[in-house]
Structure 1
Amino acid sequence: MNVMFFGRKSKLAPSIRDEEINDTMPTLGSEMNFRNGRYVYYARGGDYCKGMNHYLWSFLCGIGEAMYLNRTFVMDLSLCLSGTYCSSNKDEEGKDFRFYFDFEHLKETASVVGEGEFLRDWKQWDKGHKRKSAGEEAKYIHRPWHAIWKSKRLMNVVTEISGRMDWDFDAQHVVRGEKARNKHLWPHLDSDTSPDTILTKVKEMVQPWRNLYVATNESFYNYFDNLRSHYKVHLLDDYKELWSGTSEWYNETTMVNNGKPVEFDGYMRVAVDTDVLYRSKIRVETFYNLTKDCKDGINTCRIGFFL
């Protein structure tokens, strides 16, 4: 048995049994199975408490390495959510991977085992067998993005919202927040996403009195009120009962979290907003339809991207 380490050591999130969604951690079985195994151990590194895209880029590098080398991937289900997604505006540790991603699909795609069980057996084994991943191997590793799906619990919320609009709706994506305040990189974004400007642009693209879902990071609920005179407007917060204390999502995530309530955090909001947006008939995009500012700041637009 030998082990390749990827990152640094971290704590183990509790494992639970869920009869509806099979996202419990696979086990190694006997000590002999452990000794005969070959592993890639993924643990905390430079991606810890960074944005979710940063985390996934690093995480999928580890998964890809394990697949390439035909090894079992050792993972910690506990992650740190960047403060940009948290109501506290502070990084929050102890978030469960299964809150955000479909672990059942991941373990069907790749061979994985939990860090806790691995470390228990590892203590009985010669630590001299471990080694770091060689740089040459990284050239041949492809990140298996197909292994990462959004959590089924979040997708159930997406399905419920879409169903309440009879699966017949249009949508607009309105990016504001910090980008709208940064006049250096996005000089026109604030004004181009003002309520009156949004209404003018949407009226050019969407028929009146359609169901219009607004996916946005704008925190002021009434910001889009002028649209209500022309459309049946829907915002994510109109569906709060889907993650309230009496919801199926609340009960299931509480069970995953060892009986402790789970916040419907900023990343979950983005995940649900995005997938409802993708299910719309017509999409009005911020960095295509509403503004000529570039998505990644000034001078980053692709040639021909804007009409």
Structure 2
Amino acid sequence: MAFHRASKAKPKSARSRILLLAAAVTAIALLFLFSSLLSTTVSKANLLQRRQQQPFEKYLYWGTRIDCPGKHCGSCEGLGHQESSLRCALEEALFLGRTFVMPSRMCINPIHNKKGILHHSTNASSEELWDASSCAMDSLYDTELMSDTVPVILDNSKEWYRVLSTSMKLGARGVAHVEGVSRFELKENSRYSDLLLINRTASPLSWFMECKDRNNRSAIMLPYSFLPSMAAGKLRDAAEKIKALLGDYDAIHVRRGDKIKTRKDRFGVARSLHPHLDRDTRPEFMLCRIAKWVPPGRTLFIASNERTPGFFSPLSARYRLAYSSNYSHILDPLIENNYQLFMIERLIMMGGKTFIRTFKEDETDLSLTDDPKKNTKLWQIPVYNVDETC
């Protein structure tokens, strides 16, 4: 009997130890899980508390349209001009630590749009005419991506209507309409800095005139490349597809068209603001200029506003040429206007191993011409003789 009882006790003791071990493991696991949940809950509560403690966001508004109010309300400048103005407004919002209220549409200059402006009735209202000659801002730019650097909302968003409603309720503490006030005063003077909304009337010439100190490099808060890199997602996707098809390539932007126009002086002599540009952007001169930067046999992607068929064909003697028109199967279903097309081309050019611009934006840029990009107001006789030998 003793043996029989002993044989029963041993298994019972072993089972107890196993059960005890399992219970301990389970308890530890539950404790760890509870601790994690508690930590997460506390973190979320702290985050919510911090958000509740933070003051409400403050906003900066420059107008319903880029360069409007101002002399361009009834006209429309090109994409580059409008981007200069938009970048200026974004820089001020960044400087002031405010959310920028961005126009929800951008006007399209018909000169830069080969697809043309939509046909409209002569009886159309001013708003209908505006809609027909403009495009949605979010069809050009990724506002969420932009907000990682400078918070932005569109002026047709629910948030903007909420801001307007709140500012009216706050009265004098809600909004100030300012004109001729420097950004430094807007930031340092509590009369402005504590307000929910600053309604800025920018320079009547152009918005970018508020950033006249851009020649001071330390004053530049957003580089020239900022807005090009903020292209809408579908435009970036199209550019990536084309870049993948191009493989290893170089890129060149050739600005002709409006930039090579001349006018005659009182003696009937043709003059130009960019006297060397017409010469420097012709294929025979381009071959000489870019030879030191682009070896023979390379794929060369060309973006240009030159409309003469086959104009750049002489370059094919040394390079494999590619244009956006070679990828119409990607672009045609997507492109609604030339602003979108150029934004895609710009992304492609920025992705080239070597990128040659028409004009220099920075001192380190490679360029086809040494003429300054900025309008000098000095009309000169165009130059066509060769300054250097290849």
Q: Distance in 2 between matches of 1:294 and 1:284?
A: 15
* Contact in 1 for aligned 2:280/2:286 (Cα 8 Å): yes
Which range is displaced more, 59-68 or 224-233?
59-68
State which of 151, 175, 178 in structure 2 corresponds to 1:133: 178
State which of 97, 106, 118 in structure 1 corresponds to 2:137: 97
Aligned to 1:81: 108
Aligned to 1:277: 349
Task: Report the Cα offset of residue 215 of structure 1.
Answer: 2.3
**Per the alignment, in what secondary structure is the counterpart of residue 43 of structure 1?**
coil
Task: Report the Cα offset of residue 222 of structure 1.
Answer: 1.2
Task: Report the Cα offset of residue 156 of structure 1.
Answer: 1.9
Matches within 5 A, 1:1-307: 38-44=58-64, 45=68, 46=70, 48=73, 49-87=76-114, 88=116, 93-116=133-156, 117=158, 118-119=160-161, 122=164, 125-126=168-169, 128-129=171-172, 130-133=175-178, 135-139=180-184, 145=222, 148=227, 149-166=230-247, 168-182=248-262, 183-203=271-291, 205-245=293-333, 250=334, 263=336, 265-287=337-359, 290-296=368-374
* Contact in 1 for aligned 2:143/2:153 (Cα 8 Å): no
**Per the alignment, in what secondary structure is the counterpart of residue 145 of structure 1?**
coil
TM-score (norm 2): 0.53
Task: Report the Cα offset of residue 82 of structure 1.
Answer: 2.8
**CA 68–219 in structure 1, closer or farther in 2 if over 3 Å, else same:** same
Q: Deviations over 1:232-291 (max 9, x none)?
A: 11012111221222xxxx2xxxxxxxxxxx61x232333233332232223444446644
Q: Distance in 1 between matches of 2:164 and 2:356?
A: 53
Task: Report the Cα offset of residue 120 of structure 1.
Answer: 6.3
**CA 58–198 in structure 1, closer or farther in 2 if over 3 Å, else same:** closer
Q: Deviations over 1:151-187 (max 9, x none)?
A: 2322222222221121x11233322112223342223
TM-score (norm 1): 0.65
Aligned to 1:4: none
Q: Distance in 1 between matches of 2:253 and 2:282?
A: 13
Q: Which runs of 5+ in 2 are unaligned?
A: 1-55, 119-129, 188-218, 263-270, 360-365, 380-386
CA RMSD of aligned residues (A): 3.7
Q: Which has the higher contact order (CA 8 A, sep 6+)?
A: 1
Q: Distance in 1 between matches of 2:279 and 2:88?
A: 40
Q: Whose helix fraction is larger, Structure 1's or Structure 2's? A: 2
* Contact in 2 for aligned 1:195/1:223 (Cα 8 Å): yes
Q: Which runs of 5+ in 1 are unaligned?
A: 1-35, 251-261, 301-305
Which range is displaced more, 141-150 or 224-233?
141-150
Letter in 1 for 2:161: L
Aligned to 1:13: none
Structure number with bigger Rg: 2
Task: Report the Cα offset of residue 212 of structure 1.
Answer: 1.4
Task: Report the Cα offset of residue 127 of structure 1.
Answer: 8.0
**CA 164–93 in structure 1, closer or farther in 2 if over 3 Å, else same:** same
**Per the alignment, in what secondary structure is the counterpart of residue 132 of structure 1?**
strand
Q: Distance in 2 between matches of 1:72 and 1:292?
A: 39
Task: Report the Cα offset of residue 223 of structure 1.
Answer: 1.0
Task: Report the Cα offset of residue 231 of structure 1.
Answer: 2.0
**Per the alignment, in what secondary structure is the counterpart of residue 109 of structure 1?**
coil
* Contact in 1 for aligned 2:117/2:133 (Cα 8 Å): no
Q: Distance in 2 between matches of 1:297 and 1:68?
A: 28
**CA 189–95 in structure 1, closer or farther in 2 if over 3 Å, else same:** same
Letter in 2 for 1:160: K
* Contact in 1 for aligned 2:239/2:344 (Cα 8 Å): yes
Aligned to 1:22: none
* Contact in 2 for aligned 1:171/1:280 (Cα 8 Å): yes
Letter in 1 for 2:60: V
Task: Report the Cα offset of residue 297 of structure 1.
Answer: 5.9
**CA 86–279 in structure 1, closer or farther in 2 if over 3 Å, else same:** same
Q: Distance in 1 between matches of 2:142 and 2:313?
A: 36
* Contact in 1 for aligned 2:113/2:338 (Cα 8 Å): yes
Task: Report the Cα offset of residue 62 of structure 1.
Answer: 4.2
Letter in 2 for 1:295: K
Q: Distance in 1 between matches of 2:108 and 2:370?
A: 32
Q: Deviations over 1:185-239 (max 9, x none)?
A: 2233223332333334444543322211112221224111222233211012111
Q: Distance in 2 between matches of 1:201 and 1:72?
A: 45
